[in-house]
Amino acid sequence: MKTSTATADVADTSWAAVPQRSLLRRHRDFRLLFTGEVAGKYGSSVTGLALPLIAVTALHATAFEVAALTAATWLPWLLIGLPVGAWVDRLRRRTVMLASAAASLLLYLTVPVAAVLGLLSYPQLLLVALCAGTSAVFFQTAYTAYLPSLVAAADRAEGNAKLQGSASAAQIVGLGTGGALAQVFGPVDSLLANTVTFVVSLLCTGSIRQREALTPPGDRKRATLLSEVGEGLRVIARDSWLRCFMIYGALANLSLTATQSIQVVFLLGRAQLPESALGTLIGAASIGGIVGALVARRVGAALGTARALLLFLIVLPALELLVPLTGPGTGMLCYLVGAAAVSAGVVAGNVLRATFTQSYIPTELLGRITASGSFVNYSLMPLGALVGGALAGWLGVLPAMWLTCAALPLAGLTLWFSPLRRYRDLPAGSLVRAVAA
């Protein structure tokens, strides 16, 4: 198998194109996908806050045990991330998304049921986090590969921006209301919010009318699962653009997960906030993600998409060094500014990179290449969570926060020494798949 890339230094004018009518108004199926994704992200946001709070308040877990919950959520990417991409390319992606959402719904429901029966334990939380993380691997891989088949190429930039922005908005509302729900009903019962949100996600995704065309069996009669997995890895390893994004993503996710795994413990101690206000603080910082989604396309058109990525993924994340300076009262501004800058940079960078890869990678390879890249990107996240917890236990929470926050801008150096620095825009052409006879 040989691959080559079309890397003409030509600006992609689709970044600047703005349709007369919003994609949400004129595209029914995208509107359903958008609504289902917003509902699912809200439920996941409530869960992301509720599980650590349950571990700390109901089960008296240590900082390392709380971090291990985050590690369990991301461990499936390391265990099954590679073959999932090949499986998704062989199945209808919408069906995979439906099955994954249903599995997550049932898993999270077991927590309040076990609490009512007096059977709730830390091992159960760990198992739920692991199994829900497995469902997320299937859903995320199918979801990323599904969007290009749902909307036209000219609409992908707008679609990605709206989906990324909605994810940030749902995170803000979920974290803010999640803290209040935990305060009023208790962390365990706050998980019941997922019942409604995952049902909405299932109904919306199931109502999408457009159906995918599966690759005819004859087109892959000689392909095996192992060969398709290897093909995705080879394409990424040989392509300089995909390779630099993969390396940066892995290192950045390592840092971000290490920071987030001890964030709840850090803020409860440093900011001296009640549980109800904790979600509000984290949610307020996530407003940066909405801003990032709104400005990504415009900044990409004005500066060039390659230069915009350097701004979003190197300059803005450097402000995360303000986070360890967080304190009570006005000291919380350090967290708000630093975390908001990181959120804006990450979301804007995701909008630009997702739109680029969806046009750059052929549709028939999108699932396995996405999964291969995600495998590398996410495989270090369980390690990051464990490192964050271990550093907090060894050095203390504050020194651990300094080290994990400093690692993020250092990860950006991989992009500075990549092809991004030599170009104004990302390639407008697509990756060419050349199969040797």
Say what percent of the chain tops pLDDT 90. 18
Q: Is the pLDDT of residue 19 over 50?
A: no
Q: Is the pLDDT of residue 315 over 90?
A: yes
More confident of the two residues 105 and 211: 105
Task: Examine residue 297 and state whether it is found in any structural domain, yes or no.
Answer: yes
SS3 sequence of the chain: CEEEECCCCCCCHHHCCCCCCCHHHHCHHHHHHHHHHHHHHHHHHHHHHHHHHHHHHHCCCCHHHHHHHHHHHHHHHHHHHHHHHHHHHHCCHHHHHHHHHHHHHHHHHHHHHHHHCCCCCHHHHHHHHHHHHHHHHHHHHHHHHHHHHHCCHHHHHHHHHHHHHHHHHHHHHHHHHHHHHHHHHCHHHHCCHHHHHHHHHHHHHHCCCCCCCCCCHHHHCCCCHHHHHHHHHHHHHHCHHHHHHHHHHHHHHHHHHHHHHCHHHHHHHHCCCCHHHHHHHHHHHCHHHHHHHHHHHHHHHHHCHHHHHHHHHHHHHHHHHHHHHCCCHHHHHHHHHHHHHHHHHHHHHHHHHHHHHHHHCCHHHHHHHHHHHHHHHHHCHHHHHHHHHHHHHHHCHHHHHHHHHHHHHHHCHHHHCCHHHHCCCCCCCCEEEECCC
Task: Examine residue 301 and state whether it is found in any structural domain, yes or no.
Answer: yes
Q: Which of 152-166, 260-274, 395-409, 414-428 has the highest mean pLDDT?
A: 395-409
Task: Examine residue 2 and state whether it is found in any structural domain, yes or no.
Answer: no
**pLDDT value of residue 319:** 94
Mean pLDDT value across residues 255-283? 80
Would you place residue 334 in the very low, low, confident or very high pLDDT band (cuts 50, 70, 90)? very high
CA distance 289 to 271: 22
Q: Is the pLDDT of residue 111 over 80?
A: yes
Task: Name the domain count of the chain.
Answer: 1
**pLDDT value of residue 4:** 32
Task: Examine residue 43 and state whether it is found in any structural domain, yes or no.
Answer: yes
Domain containing 36 — which CATH number?
A: 1.20.1250.20
Task: Examine residue 232 and state whether it is found in any structural domain, yes or no.
Answer: yes
C-beta of residue 167 within 8 angstroms of C-beta of residue 39 = no
Hunting for tokens 């049902």 — which residue is that?
Answer: 199
C-beta of residue 376 within 8 angstroms of C-beta of residue 249 = yes
Residue 195 in tokens: 């019942």
Mean pLDDT value across residues 3-27? 48
C-beta of residue 123 within 8 angstroms of C-beta of residue 68 = no
Task: Examine residue 328 and state whether it is found in any structural domain, yes or no.
Answer: yes
Would you place residue 56 in the very low, low, confident or very high pLDDT band (cuts 50, 70, 90)? confident
Q: Is the whole-model pTM more than 0.75?
A: no
β-pairing, 431-434 vs 2-5, is antiparallel
Task: Examine residue 13 and state whether it is found in any structural domain, yes or no.
Answer: no
CA angle 63, 66, 68 (to 5 degrees): 110
**pLDDT value of residue 322:** 95
Task: Examine residue 233 and state whether it is found in any structural domain, yes or no.
Answer: yes
**Which range marks the domain in which residue 392 is found?**
21-211+224-434
